[in-house]
Amino acid sequence: MTVREPEFATDRDALARRLKMVLPAHCLLIDDEDLRPYECDGLTAFRQLPMAVCLPENEGQVIDVLRTCHQLGVPVVARGAGTGLSGGAMPHAQGVVLSLARFNKILKVDRDSRTAIVQPGVRNLAVSEAAAPYGLYYAPDPSSQIACTLGGNVAENSGGVHCLKYGLTVHNVLRVRVVSIEGEVFEIGSAAPDSAGYDLLALVIGSEGLLGVVTEVTVKLVPKPQLAQVVMASFDDVGKAGDAVAAIIAAGIIPAGLEMMDKPATAAVEPFVQAGYDLSAEAILLCEADGTPEEVAEEIARVTEVLQSAGARDLRVSQSEAERLRFWAGRKAAFPAVGRITPDYYCMDGTIPRKRLAEMLAAIAAMEKKYGLRCANVFHAGDGNLHPLIMYDASVPGEWDKAEAFGAEILELSVALGGSITGEHGVGIEKINQMCVQYATPELEAFRRVKAAFDDAGLLNPGKAVPSLHRCAEYGRMHVHRGELKFPEMERF
């Protein structure tokens, strides 16, 4: 199926005149200097200035902007805090960025129903802070939770270190309010445990802004556990650590969190956070148990037994809440910590079956030699979600090309091992060629039909997430994408 190509406006002045009719002057940016902060998201290797940035303050203005862009055939890229790592919020050269940053209100926290209604610009951590007086919190906790927003979390189906037990965003959202590209408002989901009809809520969550613009989110809140403790296990071999992850799950234990870092990652983190990590270990595992004191004691004992049988050479159990938080602070600071020791790094996001972790780690070590680049590995190990951090120097000619090729090989090996090219960062522009590896033509056609049902003009976040069949044909035939997929020449639906 071919989705109709939009007829893009090319006259910025004409676009600005129309947008000024529906937005106050302080809600519209059109000068290059003002547009520069919006040229990329967390994936800084891909940059492009938009024609304009809209900063609506209410839903009516969102509707008016979308209707205007639909009438003019102008692409729209919705944006939250810009912390995404797949280029999902990268602007279109002939489009506008629709920033939801000013939708930053927590509308309601309901202790009895354990829910909160929030606007999409609310920070992830702010939801838990608002719920804390009621003994509740919002479970999904990406490493960027201090800055990332709920709208972005919905777009990317974000997870976090506690997603193994408590689920991803899709498992913790009950309802979303959405505006279509035509400016029509609709709600998906409800406060009830389930709703009739197709599960469109799961479809919209993780759709990367291709189907609509979210203006309100109802999330689940969970009670704060009475106690939580972390076991930190040291291993003299990364393969043993990977096998230990599979052994914990095979034993029927579902920890609140199960994270892994290799030696280069801990070496970067420890001077930055002073988390108390074992710097002589080839890999460490962090395994958290939460619940009542009795439940935690039982789970810690079972986990300890499994880890010892799997070859852990040293075990430490957090003895206070401060120490537990310090262990997790190190894991959550892995990305900025690596940023201190290398001019640039490229964060990957693939997912593989847990039993293949050791195999993947060995393959990544071989790729380091192949490409001549270092790589620090951090994992949401419990669900097989990899975050290799490929270190390079963008100022050295050819190093970005090598880093991109390194990352592509990791993603394609993830598929070969029975996994996926993404676990929580989304496809965006970064992984669009690897979509051609993971999915066959009939599946991609189905994705495009879904896109057409919501946005037949192809104006919402064009060129992201779902590749054209032509792109896949070129990628499969020539395999020359590495280093060559650069803006502004983005494909459109």
pLDDT digits (tens, 9 = 90+) for 440-473: 999 999 999 999 999 999 999 999 999 988 899 8
- Position 10 scores a pLDDT of 62
Architecture in CATH for domain 106-223:
2-Layer Sandwich (3.30)
Please report, to the nearest 10 degrees, the dihedral formed by the alpha carbons of residues 203, 205, 209, 213 taken in order.
100
pLDDT at 488 over 60: no
Query: Across all residues in the chain, what is the average pLDDT?
Result: 93
Residue 351 Cα distances to 24, 164, 421, 424, angstroms: 44, 13, 6, 9
What is the residue extent of each domain of the chain? 106-223, 227-430
d(CA 229, CA 296): 7
Q: Are 380 and 166 contacting, i.e. CB atoms less than 8 angstroms apart?
A: no
Which strands make up the sheet holding 96-99, listed edge to edge? 28-29, 52-54, 96-99, 76-79
d(CA 124, CA 127): 6
- Percent above pLDDT 70 for the chain: 95
pLDDT digits (tens, 9 = 90+) for 98-149: 999 999 999 999 999 999 999 999 999 999 999 999 999 999 999 899 999 9
227-430 classified as CATH 3.40.462.10: yes
pLDDT digits (tens, 9 = 90+) for 259-285: 999 999 999 999 999 999 999 999 999
d(CA 116, CA 217): 8
